A and B are shown apart, each in its own frame.
Chain A
Amino acid sequence: MIEIKFWGRGGQGAVTAAELLAVAASMGGKYSQAFPFFGVERRGAPVKSFCMIDDKPIRVHQQVYNPDHVVILDASLVGRPDILEGFKKNGVVLVNTSKPKSQIKLRAKNLFVVDATGIALKYIGRPIVNTAMLGAFIKATNIVPLEPVKEAIKERFPAPLAEKNIKAIEDCYNETK
């Protein structure tokens, strides 16, 4: 089983990011589960969400304690002492930031950065970074192909909004190196 932990703040779409990834994975014939864990229900509060992907049905319902990958939607969370708690060291850590990788103080072998806020503002007009971050995450991990994620976005959002999000995800996919 591959386990992914998303960190974000209320309003950035961390819960939806995990859901879209779970939907995309199951389109490709995998079993998947997405589970949110938020504190108080308000914008700006730290939010965790989890996505599990496996070849066999997933029967557990619990939080993710040892993530294979960690996706951080808000750079202000990087300083949290528990940000990489339980992280399996060979996985990907992806941070949404406009800063260069060298300025991100995280002990991770496979660290990736992307300015998802900039890209979200450019295409969506609001700093909702989840879809842009998914584009970068897929590029970094190849966990699922990009096409089913686009399909999942089309299912989830009304057409004009889906188009904007797809542009954001494609741009992020191409920008991430």
Chain B
Amino acid sequence: MVRKTVESSIAIAEAVKNCEPDVVACYPITPSTHIAETLAKFYADGELKSYITTESEFASISCICGASAAGGRAFSTTSSQGLALMHEVVYAAAGMRLPIAMVVGNRALSAPLNIWCDHQDSVAERDSGWIQLYCESAQEGVDTAIQAFKIAESTMLPAMTCIDGFYLTHTVEPIDVPTMEEVRRFLPKYEAKVKLDPENPLSIGEYALPDTYQSFREDVHKDNLAAKGKIVEVDKEFEQMFGRGHGGLAQGYGHEDADYIFIGMGSVIGNAKEAVDELRARGKKVGVVKIRSFRPFPEEEVRKLLEGKKHVAVFEKSYSLGSFAPVYADVINSLYPLRKRPVVSSFIGGLGGKDVPVKSIHEIFKMIRKREPLKVWF
């Protein structure tokens, strides 16, 4: 492992390179991050097998779907409008069971035009069948980008590593990047069980009539849920090999004896942990729950972590306009089977890069001291 103090995007590009993908295809300008730019540089320096500069993000994901269908390990990266443009093929990739990996640098969607962080771009793809893992730190981003290949290839589902735009993508901090030799020990060579082969012609993503279509979709759903075990297992294997895990599906911090919980995903979790330490020092019973896997959603884990609490603040950087906040809705659904449920409030914040510093977490903990559930655009 090599410790470097570099921009997270550069470290993630290096981690992806060390996973030895057969095909990388990217559309490299804004809203993409330096991940694409750095991978292009690796290719130019002869350190990456292939790199295709495509004419759009739609073409990028189409390229890697083709590469994956032909049996290759394939990767792309994008953000915001780029992911929105991929939308049609995002669904196709999951339905065709192509184990591609993608890193999304989470950024706001237009309009108004904005380049900063929120989760609206990837949350808009939550129903596609992809696995979605959200990262708290740059280190987790690097490690999850590596884990994603292993999870995808063993579940035959595409996996998205979501890292906060700017807060993680553009931030310089000390990061340990596993070397190619170390990654080789963790991530076996990808051998596709089913692939396009001129010797044995077959078709993938065929036409399905009304009598079969639904069962294909149900399979994707069931296998996505079944991937929970794999996500936990891969994170544990990673921890055994590299000495650090990132919490599997969901993880509590200071939550055991807490009455009040802040639950969310992404880099805001680090800020929340800081606030919890400060409040705990003053004797307040507060804790944090980090949702790492948004899809599959860790219903049982969330229920277990939140059972018996007085008041839970669900904080998220996205919204389903005209309805409820998506993570809030999932948390509410997870808690519904309990006979005695905590009060749950919905906090929407950090859209378009609006800063959510430690002091904001303090305000949220103050607001949930009451018993009434709140819905706050924070």
Task: Give Cα A41–Cα B33 distance, bound, in whole angstroms.
Answer: 14
B7 nearest CB neighbor, chain A only: A19
Among A23, A58, A62, max chain B CB count under 10 A is at: A62
Knowing that A26-B174, A60-B357 touch, tell me 16 more A-B residue pairs with CB under 8 angstroms.
A22-B172, A23-B6, A34-B173, A35-B167, A35-B170, A35-B172, A41-B30, A59-B137, A60-B270, A61-B167, A61-B171, A61-B268, A61-B270, A62-B357, A63-B357, A65-B357
**B144 vs chain A, min Cβ distance (A):** 16
- Return the contact of A33 from the options B173, B268, B358 (Cβ within 8 A): B173
Does more than half of chain A's interface fall in helix, strand or loop, or is it mixed? mixed
Q: List residues 1-37 of chain A with CB under 8 A from any CB of chain B.
A: 18-19, 22-23, 26-27, 31-37
Known interface pairs A59-B137, A60-B271. Does A31 touch B174 (Cβ–Cβ under 8 Å)?
yes
Q: List residues 351-377 of chain B with CB under 8 A from any CB of chain A.
A: 355-359
> Within 8 Å CB of B168, what residues of A?
61
> Within 8 Å CB of B171, what residues of A?
33-35, 61
Number of interface residues of B (CB under 8 A): 27
Q: For the complex, is B293 an interface residue (Cβ under 8 Å from A)? A: no
6 A-B pairs with the lowest CB-CB distances in the bound complex, closest first: A59-B270, A62-B357, A34-B172, A61-B167, A26-B5, A61-B267
**B172 vs chain A, min Cβ distance (A):** 4
Q: Say yes or no: B172 contacts A23, CB within 8 Å.
A: yes
Task: Give Cα A172–Cα B370 distance, bound, in whole angstroms.
Answer: 56
**A130 vs chain B, min Cβ distance (A):** 14
Q: Say yes or no: A63 contacts B355, CB within 8 Å.
A: yes
**A60 vs chain B, min Cβ distance (A):** 5
B355 nearest CB neighbor, chain A only: A63
**B242 vs chain A, min Cβ distance (A):** 16
> Within 8 Å CB of A27, what residues of B?
5
**A167 vs chain B, min Cβ distance (A):** 24
**B23 vs chain A, min Cβ distance (A):** 30
Task: Give Cα A31–Cα B175 distance, bound, in whole angstroms.
Answer: 10
19 residue pairs of the A-B complex, CB under 8 angstroms, read A18-B172, A23-B172, A26-B174, A27-B5, A31-B173, A32-B173, A34-B173, A35-B167, A35-B170, A59-B137, A60-B271, A60-B274, A61-B137, A61-B171, A61-B268, A61-B271, A62-B271, A62-B357, A63-B357
Mask: chain B, 119-138; 1 = CB below 8 Å from A; 0 = not: 00000000000000000110
Task: Give Cα A32–Cα B268 distance, bound, in whole angstroms.
Answer: 18
A36 nearest CB neighbor, chain B only: B170
Task: Give Cα A154–Cα B65 distance, bound, in whole angstroms.
Answer: 40
A50 nearest CB neighbor, chain B only: B171
> Within 8 Å CB of A33, what residues of B?
171-173
Q: For the complex, is B149 an interface residue (Cβ under 8 Å from A)? A: no
Q: Say yes or no: A23 contacts B5, CB within 8 Å.
A: yes
Q: Say yes or no: B172 contacts A59, CB within 8 Å.
A: no
Among B115, B171, B355, max chain A CB count under 10 A is at: B171
Q: For the complex, is B153 an interface residue (Cβ under 8 Å from A)? A: no
